[in-house]
Structure 1
């Protein structure tokens, strides 16, 4: 990483120097966020919590406990690294929060970037969020046994969006630059003369042809050049460690996804022959960013899941932050969120989520594994009988789970009960009735149009019954009133996006983006604790004058 070798010499919980207290009280008679948080929560982080990030020998490092707090305050106020370092050096309230003497010179701004890199390498961003939550819990500001809510939102990659031609050209140029540093003599021997003309400067500084035929020709030329380079890297004459360079591996994957050889000629793959979105590379600069689509929002990057408490009488604090690539579905994160909350001792009694997090399996596991109630709208029964309105759905059949038998509304018993798996790999039970029983049935038109008999696909008993119960409950006024609380998490996402830039990554890569989101969660918590201490009312949902005129029978999208 090019770090200066520094060691960490832990210092105990530091008191605020007397002179710093005197000047801060005079300069801020009403206090400030940094001062109030220090007064209420005390020193939030101890150096020992980050001891594993530093070697035992070397030049003494600036206090990592203080750097953690600076990183959070930086996100609270939206400061750059330079501005944050300057605030430590010049602002009295920052010195108060950090317990520094008035004359303390602080640190060079580059120390913050190095500290973040250390946090990323040790996956230690959660320690910062957990440190604030622990302090809040000790002061009675965190309630975890009640209710919590979770939602996700899109996160744009820090890398700019590029078209296909520039994407492959920049991927090849990046690999050439890396090889030029790692093995310059070897690269000079294998490089084609025209490579220096085509790839010496950034692709964005070049003019791509406007004609489609010329662009296709350029794409094939880039494909051939990249293929020749990869063949040279994997030849027996090349140093073996070149294959392990991240940019070379990125080039290899990009070329596998976009090009192939047909009768000895490099060709671009057809769209149907390209990989799915979960593995498809979309940027020459960010190897982990992926394309995704959610309703009307399409983006390249990541997704973040925020979980917060939502009980009255205490600030709504973010208790878990999880960052994934953009293609991970919400329902696959429900159990991961529960596991993390259980690990930290912050499991709620009821977890409010939207439909994306609900699945029959997680409904059962939430209750069985964690003893919590998972509340959210479950999908209705999907079948042409349900769509018709008067047809018999699976709920109209009588199931004898012990005998493994199903009886239809017409009184006939199924002849087949076959445990199986769905295409997604979840356990299901396939049930089939005889065509001879179904064809003469007087209620056949309400049940099936198949000549071979009605077929059902059931979930295992616990999941089947959980779904039936959930569908019945969500139609009640009591459930609807209770579920209204979930909508508040959208305000949290809005606050994090507007105050801390949640929806655009500051850095490249999943690990650094995840750290950004942990620091964002910590910053929002500090802001909310400060608002609670000063009795600042929560902002009300703003409605424009025109929107207020919307008739009650219209939905949000304007459709009846």
Structure 2
């Protein structure tokens, strides 16, 4: 397929006449076209197509179809049918009423081109650019970010299902690539155990028999891997994707002890960031957050939060499930800077904040990072008595610390925390602490009190943040952050945000970019029709909760 760029042009007069006759009050597709004009140009996607070949359907129009598909929750077949049959779609796409549209498979092919070129973000950016030109986007004010879990498109598997399905998938792929060779190495029982899906089998209920079944699968997989990598084996099976997946899963879950296959101890298995959870989506990872456990990914949504214009999603970032929120803060800020959409204040939850990021956001991007910071962790704060680190006087210029009892130490050692961040270790001698009259309020260690400090700028930023977050002014300002949870809810209910439609991180990321674009169109349409924003729902009983209980719950 090749692409010959063409202008979306004016909407045909007959299409305009019929569309307004059919939709006298307009529709989302009609209103968005009238307000924002053509959202995508073919030239934006020219690098996705070769210079020669059969002409492709307009990629600019296909991009709009993908977004409208997510707005209305349509399948590929339904979206292609809407282009052929719906007048408002023809209006938005500037098509003649007689235009036959395209085969539904074109949408899948176009998504593959977007994924291969990592061009999904262009779709969201084009809508934001059009909104900015229409005065519907303000990025210099405040922004808010939150994340949510995303289930993989592949079904979640228990351990026995995982290893059985991994072996079955490898056998099926080898059966296509080297069927004659596979017949020479396959055990007769393999056709009984791995010819059908593991979910169609009934696993034993007793723990001993389940362990025995797992070891049998482990031995069968080991036997197949030994055959694949033996000197006389053909080369085709070794290069197969599912064979490599089988090898990785067996390394992660099994080992050979004195020639016998054994299941690895949980402490001997790799961390979740590298551990495979299904052979059908090898980029998905297992994670847990509070009471939620899932296999798949995580998505971070950032939106504007201004009262007089639509709250538009300005950044969407998709990661594997094991990536912590705190590692995404600087990535989101860097994307702000690259797009020219740096906010003045960034509202986030506690997972995105630490002392280093407070300083970095202000110094490198001019952003005020607002979110709850962790309190001081020590047995004194836990017991709510005694001297905490804030009771010590720090002389940064002379690198010395004075305790509440009046003793001063110069044992000041730069170091790094287990996470790799710079810290300062301060230690008082046991000889200073033992005779101290307030020792019981300070430390129980005979070796003396120890402190761990952040670098000066981070330490001061952390203390200031802790002091501010206890004020009513900060709490009132921070209430705005809660609105992003409504955005996640809208994306979940309207676009199925928490379930990936596709397998793999790249395709899931494209899904989320299209989801962000779809939510933006829906919000722009709501703004144009003066649809009021939804309010936080509170039940009648919850509204009766006494104020002191509400404060206690917040703590």
TM-score, normalized by the shorter chain, greater than 0.5: yes
How far apart, CA to CA, are the structure 2 residues paired with 1:239 and 1:47? 46
Structure 2 portions without partners, runs of 5+: none
Q: Which residue of 2 aligns with 1:260?
A: 255
Helix, strand or coil at the partner of 1:59 = coil
Please tell me whether residue 308 in structure 1 is matched to residue 303 in structure 2: yes
Q: Which residue of 2 aligns with 1:56?
A: 51
Please tell me whether residue 168 in structure 1 is matched to residue 163 in structure 2: yes
How far apart, CA to CA, are the structure 2 residues paired with 1:135 and 1:559? 40
Shift of 1:243: 3.2
Query: Which of 64, 76, 98 pairs up with 1:69?
Result: 64
Shift of 1:408: 1.1
8 Å CA contact retained: 1:349, 1:372 = yes
How many residue pairs were aligned?
Answer: 555
Shift of 1:31: 0.4
8 Å CA contact retained: 2:8, 2:94 = no
Write the mapping of 1:202-217 to structure 2, written as runs, cut at 5 A: 202-217=197-212
Helix, strand or coil at the partner of 1:323 = strand
Shift of 1:54: 1.4
8 Å CA contact retained: 1:166, 1:203 = yes
Q: Which residue of 2 aligns with 1:3?
A: none
How far apart, CA to CA, are the structure 2 residues paired with 1:391 and 1:172? 59
Q: Which residue of 2 aligns with 1:420?
A: 415
Helix, strand or coil at the partner of 2:242 = helix
How far apart, CA to CA, are the structure 1 residues paired with 2:473 and 2:240? 58
Shift of 1:133: 0.4
Q: Which residue of 2 aligns with 1:115?
A: 110
Query: Which of 212, 228, 238 pairs up with 1:233?
Result: 228
Please tell me whether residue 335 in structure 1 is matched to residue 337 in structure 2: no
Shift of 1:239: 4.1
Q: Which residue of 1 aligns with 2:266?
A: 271
Please tell me whether residue 374 in structure 1 is matched to residue 369 in structure 2: yes
8 Å CA contact retained: 2:177, 2:236 = no
552 and 241 in structure 1: CA distance in 2 versus 1, 3 angstrom threshold: farther
Q: Which moved more, 1:17-26 or 1:186-195?
A: 186-195
Write the mapping of 1:510-525 to structure 2, written as runs, cut at 5 A: 510-525=505-520
Q: Which residue of 2 aligns with 1:222?
A: 217
Q: Which residue of 1 aligns with 2:144?
A: 149
Shift of 1:56: 1.7
Q: Which moved more, 1:191-200 or 1:443-452?
A: 191-200
Q: Which residue of 1 aligns with 2:541?
A: 546
Q: Which moved more, 1:194-203 or 1:79-88?
A: 194-203
Q: Which residue of 1 aligns with 2:24?
A: 29
How far apart, CA to CA, are the structure 2 residues paired with 1:221 and 1:202? 17
Deviation per CA, 1:415-472, whole angstroms, max 9, x where unpaired?
Answer: 4111111111111111101110101111111111110110001111111111011111
Please tell me whether residue 38 in structure 1 is matched to residue 33 in structure 2: yes
How far apart, CA to CA, are the structure 1 residues paired with 2:133 and 2:181? 60
Helix, strand or coil at the partner of 2:451 = strand
Q: TM-score, normalised by structure 2?
A: 0.97
Q: Which residue of 2 aligns with 1:443?
A: 438
Q: Which moved more, 1:193-202 or 1:83-92?
A: 193-202
How far apart, CA to CA, are the structure 1 residues paired with 2:438 and 2:236? 71
Query: Which of 82, 100, 105 pairs up with 1:105?
Result: 100
Helix, strand or coil at the partner of 1:10 = coil
8 Å CA contact retained: 1:352, 1:375 = yes
Query: Which of 288, 293, 302 pairs up with 1:293?
Result: 288
Deviation per CA, 1:107-149, whole angstroms, max 9, x where unpaired?
Answer: 1111111111111111111011111001101111100000000
347 and 243 in structure 1: CA distance in 2 versus 1, 3 angstrom threshold: farther
Deviation per CA, 1:13-53, whole angstroms, max 9, x where unpaired?
Answer: 32211110110011111100000000011110111111111
How far apart, CA to CA, are the structure 2 residues paired with 1:509 and 1:54? 23
Q: Which moved more, 1:36-45 or 1:235-244?
A: 235-244
8 Å CA contact retained: 1:415, 1:434 = no
How far apart, CA to CA, are the structure 2 residues paired with 1:369 and 1:242? 51
Deviation per CA, 1:476-498, whole angstroms, max 9, x where unpaired?
Answer: 11111111111111110111111
How far apart, CA to CA, are the structure 1 residues paired with 2:404 and 2:238? 65
How far apart, CA to CA, are the structure 2 residues paired with 1:45 and 1:507? 24
Q: TM-score, normalised by structure 1?
A: 0.96
61 and 557 in structure 1: CA distance in 2 versus 1, 3 angstrom threshold: farther
How far apart, CA to CA, are the structure 1 residues paired with 2:181 and 2:2? 38
8 Å CA contact retained: 2:348, 2:371 = yes
Write the mapping of 1:349-360 to structure 2, written as runs, cut at 5 A: 349-360=344-355
How far apart, CA to CA, are the structure 2 residues paired with 1:490 and 1:192? 54
Helix, strand or coil at the partner of 2:412 = strand
Q: Which residue of 2 aligns with 1:86?
A: 81
Please tell me whether residue 479 in structure 1 is matched to residue 474 in structure 2: yes
Structure 1 portions without partners, runs of 5+: 1-5
Helix, strand or coil at the partner of 1:118 = helix
Deviation per CA, 1:263-286, whole angstroms, max 9, x where unpaired?
Answer: 100011122222222222222322
8 Å CA contact retained: 2:178, 2:236 = no
How far apart, CA to CA, are the structure 1 residues paired with 2:162 and 2:215? 13
Query: Which of 429, 453, 460 pairs up with 2:448?
Result: 453
Shift of 1:559: 9.6
